[in-house]
């Protein structure tokens, strides 16, 4: 087995991973590994933009207030303060590195999305902000000494020695898969979210909860997994993947109509409210629900949302002439691997940032376009902390060959069935009996016995482990809050649940908002 040595290992090439790699490059060798091409990540597919208080009528305190309000009472205030204050410098830095945000007469354009009190969302290429940010960061990474990028390699499991993470096992994704191990002083999980756990999702195929599942198997604490944000408006074309229609479309004035042509919701309310309102219209037989842009300036709409308009055209729809069918879909995970404000997890040597991490910054419902800012701010913070990690190198001669073992009764975990059952049990509306039944079904698949070492098998295993943890958190939180809605506990219960859900070997429990989710590990 090949053994690769590096100072710092970064798993993932989204905004958080790339920004961390740039921070680390001044202090040692950095190896960045991704299971697909570098630009394939949730970051790259982000349309709406990046929220930052740079407009003349805005300030970080207003941004902080909006973030706290959107989080339904359980945002960690210090994490949110760090986000909105340090985000200013991170965005200015990105502009200096060549990110091309949209401008009007030379001035940067700001737009407004749901639950923002100001126009503070920067966008690029109209509705392709993520691609532009990832492009700028990748170009900077490719021109930076000490950083190497290795593509099409699946992460298998973390390497833990004497209670510390000292690297990770990987499998190449090619005709003849080959195992190799990377040993590092510090390892960062920047593996993104887990939208592929659901039958309805806006996420790309790579988002299978890999980092979160690996961290759980290694013994790291997780947090807030029940808070999965469902985007209200994904393009609903039968038999086609769900394509995100950005919230910025509603910010520009698009209306939501039911089958009777009636408006039934506040289009700029928080995402969880709008998504559940759409869900209720479908359940009441008043679907399909459509977006109506016919009253808007057609030229402005086409220039502001060129990618969305082009995608609609491919399906025979004209964005400014036709009613656009939409449905809620799994979009963004507020929880993840529990960290402190510097990306440290509960396992020494292991860090997490971006959507794979839970800092407490999003609470129960992420404020629109805060995710890109989170990746930049906490990716940089994780990079700074990793530089000072004194994790001793692992001995290569003590590494055992890694073997993937799965329960594959018919040679494959039924992933499509898993996704449908996740959507039904842990989707927009949840209740105890369905969650318990789902967990019982998952338990059969978590007892492994048969080898299947390839990317589909690895991802299936991770989806089982992730959905198990998510369902446990959803069952534990007997209330409705933000993106987590229980039919059997439809109101919030502050006395029991005004805090984060921490899941570790002791099971799920509520922790407070006045401290990081993870205490700084002793050296």
Catalytic residues: 271
Query: Which strand (E) or helix (H) includes residue 298?
Result: helix 298-304
Q: How far apart are CA 136 and CA 217, in angstroms?
A: 34
Nearest to 258 by CA among 326, 331, 328, 322: 326
Radius of gyration of the chain (CA): 22
**What stretches of 110-261 adopt beta strand conformation (E)?**
110-111, 121-122, 147-150, 153-161, 164-172, 179-189, 222-223, 228-235, 243-244, 255-257
Residues contacting residue 216 through CB under 8 Å, at least 6 positions apart? 222, 465, 466, 469
Query: Which strand (E) or helix (H) includes residue 247?
Result: helix 247-251
- SS3 sequence of 202-242: CCCCCCCCHHHHHHHHHCCCEECCCCEEEEEEEECCCCCCC
Nearest to 215 by CA among 413, 466, 501: 466
Q: How far apart are CA 209 and CA 127, in angstroms?
A: 26
Of the CA atoms within 13 Å of residue 224, those in its CB half-sphere come to 39
The CA distances from residue 304 to 295, 429, 482, in Å, are 15, 34, 30
Is residue 229 within 8 A of residue 273, CB to CB? The reply is: no
Residues contacting residue 178 through CB under 8 Å, at least 6 positions apart? 2, 171, 172
- SS3 sequence of 466-507: HHHHHHHHHHHCCCCECCECECCECCCCHHHHCCEEEEECCE
Nearest to 172 by CA among 148, 187, 191, 151: 151
Please classify residue 83 by burial: count the beta carbons closer than 10 Å to its beta carbon, then call 0-12 exposed, 13-18 middle and 19+ buried.
buried
Q: How far apart are CA 408 and CA 404, in angstroms?
A: 12
Residues contacting residue 464 through CB under 8 Å, at least 6 positions apart? 413, 418, 442, 445, 446
State both tokens at 69: 């309000």
Provide the β-strand partners of residue 187.
9, 350
Cis bond upstream, residue 226 (ω within 30): no
Is residue 136 within 8 A of residue 98, CB to CB? The reply is: yes
State both tokens at 113: 């999305």
Q: What are the backbone angles phi and psi of residue 268, rounded to the nearest 5°?
A: -105, 15
Query: Alpha-carbon dihedral of residues 377, 190, 72, 79, nearest 10 degrees?
Result: -30
């Amino acid at each position: 087995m090949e053994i690769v040595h590096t100072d710092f290992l970064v798993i993932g090439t989204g905004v958080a991973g790339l920004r961390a790699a740039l921070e680390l490059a001044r202090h040692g060798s950095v190896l960045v590994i991704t299971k697909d091409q570098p630009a394939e990540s949730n970051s790259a597919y982000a349309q709406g933009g990046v929220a930052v208080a740079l407009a003349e009528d805005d300030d970080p305190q207003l941004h902080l207030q909006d973030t706290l309000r959107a989080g339904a009472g359980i945002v960690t205030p210090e994490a949110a303060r760090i986000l909105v204050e340090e985000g200013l410098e991170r965005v200015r830095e990105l502009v200096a590195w060549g990110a091309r945000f949209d401008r009007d007469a030379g001035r940067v354009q700001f737009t407004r999305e749901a639950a923002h009190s100001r126009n503070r969302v920067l966008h690029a290429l109209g509705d392709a902000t993520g691609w532009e940010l990832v492009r700028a960061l990748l170009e900077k990474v490719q021109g930076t000494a000490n950083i190497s990028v290795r593509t099409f390699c699946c992460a298998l499991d973390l390497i833990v020695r004497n209670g510390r993470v000292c690297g990770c096992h990987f499998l190449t994704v090619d005709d003849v898969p080959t195992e190799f191990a990377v040993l590092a002083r510090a390892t960062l999980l920047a593996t993104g979210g887990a939208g592929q756990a659901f039958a309805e999702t806006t996420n790309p195929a790579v988002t299978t909860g890999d980092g979160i599942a690996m961290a759980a198997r290694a013994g790291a604490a997780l947090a807030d997994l029940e808070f999965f944000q469902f985007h209200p408006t994904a393009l609903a074309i039968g038999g086609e993947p769900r394509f995100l229609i950005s919230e910025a479309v509603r910010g520009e004035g698009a209306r939501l109509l039911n089958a009777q042509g009636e408006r039934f919701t506040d289009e700029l309310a928080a995402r969880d409210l709008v998504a559940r309102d759409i869900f209720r219209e479908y359940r009441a037989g008043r679907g399909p629900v459509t977006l109506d842009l016919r009253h808007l300036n057609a030229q402005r709409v086409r220039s502001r949302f060129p990618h969305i308009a082009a995608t609609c055209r491919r399906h025979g729809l004209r964005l400014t002439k036709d009613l656009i069918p939409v449905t809620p879909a799994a979009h963004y995970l507020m929880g993840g691997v529990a960290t402190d404000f510097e990306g440290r997890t509960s396992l020494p040597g292991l860090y997490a940032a971006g959507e794979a991490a839970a800092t407490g910054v999003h609470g129960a419902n992420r404020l629109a376009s805060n995710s890109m800012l989170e990746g930049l701010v906490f990716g940089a913070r994780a990079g700074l902390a990793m530089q000072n990690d004194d994790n001793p190198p692992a001995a290569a001669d003590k590494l055992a060959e890694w073997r993937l073992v799965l329960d594959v009764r018919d040679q494959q975990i039924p992933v499509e069935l898993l996704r449908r059952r996740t959507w039904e049990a842990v989707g927009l509306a949840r209740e105890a009996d369905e969650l318990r039944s789902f967990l019982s079904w998952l338990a059969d698949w978590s007892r492994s016995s048969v080898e299947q070492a390839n990317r589909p098998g690895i991802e299936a295993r991770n989806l089982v482990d992730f959905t198990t943890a998510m369902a446990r958190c959803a069952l534990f939180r007997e209330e409705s809050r933000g993106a987590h809605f229980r039919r059997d506990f439809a109101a919030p219960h502050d006395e029991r649940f005004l805090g984060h859900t921490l899941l570790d070997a002791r099971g799920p429990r509520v922790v407070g908002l006045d401290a990081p989710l993870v205490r700084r590990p002793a050296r």
